[in-house]
Amino acid sequence: MKPVVVLLSVPGLRQRDLASMPALTELVRAGEQARLIPSFPAVTCPVQANMTCGSLPNEHGVVANGFYWRDTNKVEMWTAWNDCIDRPQIWDRLHQCDTSLKSMVWFPLHSKGCGADYICTPAPIHNDDGSESLWCHTRPETLYQELVDELGHFPLHHFWGPVANIQSTAWIVDSAIRAADQLRPDFLYIYLPHLDYVGQKQGPDTSAFCDGLVELDNEIHKLAQSLCQMGRESSLLWLVAGEYAIVPVDHVSFPNRLLREAGLLEVSQQDDGEHLDLKNSRAWALADHQFSHVFVRNADPQTINQVVDCFNNVPGIAEVLSAGDFKRFGLDHARTGEVVLISDPHSWQAYYWWQEDSHAPSFARTVDIHQKPGYDPVELFFDPHTKGIPLNASLVCGSHGAPATDPAQQGIVLASKPGILGKSQLVDTEIADCALKAFGLSGV
Average confidence (pLDDT) per 10 residues, the chain, 444 residues:
92 98 97 98 98 98 98 96 98 96 97 98 84 91 97 96 98 98 96 98 98 98 90 80 98 98 98 97 98 98 98 97 97 98 98 98 96 97 96 98 97 97 97 95 65
- Of all residues in the chain, what percent are helix, strand and coil, respectively (each to 5)? 35, 25, 40
Report the pLDDT value the prediction gives residue 442, as an integer from 0 to 100: 66
Residues 173 and 268 in one domain: no
Do residues 216 and 294 share a domain?
Answer: no
Phi-psi region of 161 (alpha: psi -120 to 50; beta: other; left: phi over 0): left
List the beta bridge partners of residue 399: 247
Same-domain status, 360 and 431: no
Is 15 a member of any domain?
yes
- Is the Cβ–Cβ distance between 277 and 44 less than 8 Å? no
Q: Which residues pair with 106 in a beta bridge?
A: 120, 190
| pLDDT of the residue at 235 | 85
Query: 284 by DSSP, 3-state: which?
Result: strand
Counting the structural domains of the chain, the total is 2
pLDDT at 260: 98
pLDDT value of position 232: 60
Asked if residue 110 and residue 99 are part of one domain, the reply reads yes
**34 close to 258: Cβ distance less than 8 angstroms:** no
Q: Classify residue 444: in a domain, yes or no.
A: no
Q: Which residues contact 185 (CB under 8 A, 6 or more apart)?
A: 4, 102, 103, 104, 117, 118
Contacts of 75 (CB under 8 A, 6+ apart): 66, 67, 68, 69, 278, 286, 373
**Nearest alpha carbon to residue 240 among 2, 16, 31, 3:** 31
| Domain-embedded: residue 257 | yes
Same domain assignment for residues 47 and 15: yes
Shared-domain flag, residues 242 and 384: no
Please report whether residue 443 resides in a domain.
Answer: no
Q: Which domain holds residue 156?
A: 4-248+404-437
Asked if residue 178 is part of any domain, the answer here is yes
**CATH number of the domain enclosing 392:** 3.30.1360.110
- Same domain membership, residue 201 and residue 264: no
Residue 436: DSSP 8-state: H
Q: How far apart are CA 46 and CA 351, in angstroms?
A: 19
Q: Is residue 269 part of a domain?
A: yes
Helix (H, G, I), strand (E, B) or coil at 57: helix
Measured at the alpha carbon of residue 24, what is the angle toward residues 21 and 28, in degrees to the nearest 5? 135
In a domain, 187, yes or no: yes
Co-location of 330 and 429 in the same domain: no
Q: β-strands 236-241, 125-126: how paired?
A: unpaired
Phi first, then psi, for residue 138 (nearest 5°) are -135, 155
Residue 155 is predicted with a pLDDT of: 97
- Is there a single domain that holds both residue 142 and residue 193? yes
Claim to verify: residue 292 and residue 173 sit in the same structural domain: no
One domain for residues 102 and 190: yes
Dihedral of the CA atoms 64, 70, 71, 76 (nearest 10)?
A: 40
**CA–CA separation, 147 vs 176, rounded Å?**
10
Cis preceding linkage at 41, omega within 30: yes
State the DSSP code for 123: -
| Residue 58 is assigned to a structural domain of this protein | yes
* Whether residue 96 is found in the same domain as residue 211: yes
CATH (domain of 17)? 3.40.720.10
- What pLDDT is attached to residue 128? 75
